[in-house]
Each structure stands twice: as structure tokens, then as C-alpha cells.
């Protein structure tokens, strides 16, 4: 699948700890990698990394460098 291809990904769970770690869990297509990005204003996005859906369609991404404040908004993963 080429970069920018559209594939449905469902965000299942997102949680932030008091230490600044954000955990995202999503469902996607097995074996398909998705980019993770974050934004403080929903206009400017910072790429955080990518995650690969496992054979059960599940993806998990832990952002251990997330700032505790201000809160960030996270968009659903974008497939590569």
C-alpha cells in the first residue's frame, strides 16, 4: 500500500498518564503500517512514529515523550 493510501482505522482507546505517557490502541488491517501524529492546534501536526497492525487487527502506540501540558489532540493513524 503506498503512502497516502486510504484505509479505515478505528481508534479503540486513548489514555494519558500523569507522567506524560499517552497510550493509543486502534484497529487496522493486519500487516499494514500506520503513521501516528499529534497536534496542539489541529492545524500543525508532528509525526510521532508508526505502528503495524498485528494478525488480530490491533495496533498499540505508546508516546513516552508526550508533554503533560498543554494537552495534545491525536488524529487517527494514517496509513503509509
Query: What is the per-residue pLDDT for 5?
Result: 57
Q: Which residues contact 47 (CB under 8 A, 6 or more apart)?
A: 35, 36, 37
Q: What's the structural domain count of the chain?
A: 1
In a domain, 3, yes or no: no
Is the pLDDT at 1 greater than 50? The verdict is no
pTM to 2 decimal places:
0.64
In a domain, 4, yes or no: no
**Residue 46 domain boundaries:** 10-79
Quickly state the pLDDT bin for 73 (edges 50, 70, 90). low
Is the pLDDT at 20 greater than 50? The verdict is yes
Contact 56, 1 (CB under 8 A): no
The mean pLDDT of 53-65, rounded to a whole number, is 89
CA distance 46 to 55: 28
Query: What is the per-residue pLDDT for 8?
Result: 67
Amino acid at each position: 500500500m503506498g503512502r497516502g493510501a486510504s484505509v479505515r482505522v478505528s481508534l479503540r482507546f486513548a489514555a494519558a498518564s500523569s507522567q506524560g505517557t499517552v497510550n493509543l490502541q486502534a484497529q487496522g488491517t493486519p500487516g499494514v503500517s500506520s503513521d501516528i501524529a499529534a497536534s496542539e492546534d489541529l492545524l500543525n501536526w508532528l509525526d510521532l512514529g508508526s505502528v503495524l497492525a498485528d494478525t488480530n487487527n490491533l495496533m498499540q502506540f505508546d508516546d513516552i515523550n508526550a508533554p503533560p501540558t498543554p494537552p495534545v489532540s491525536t488524529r487517527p493513524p494514517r496509513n503509509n
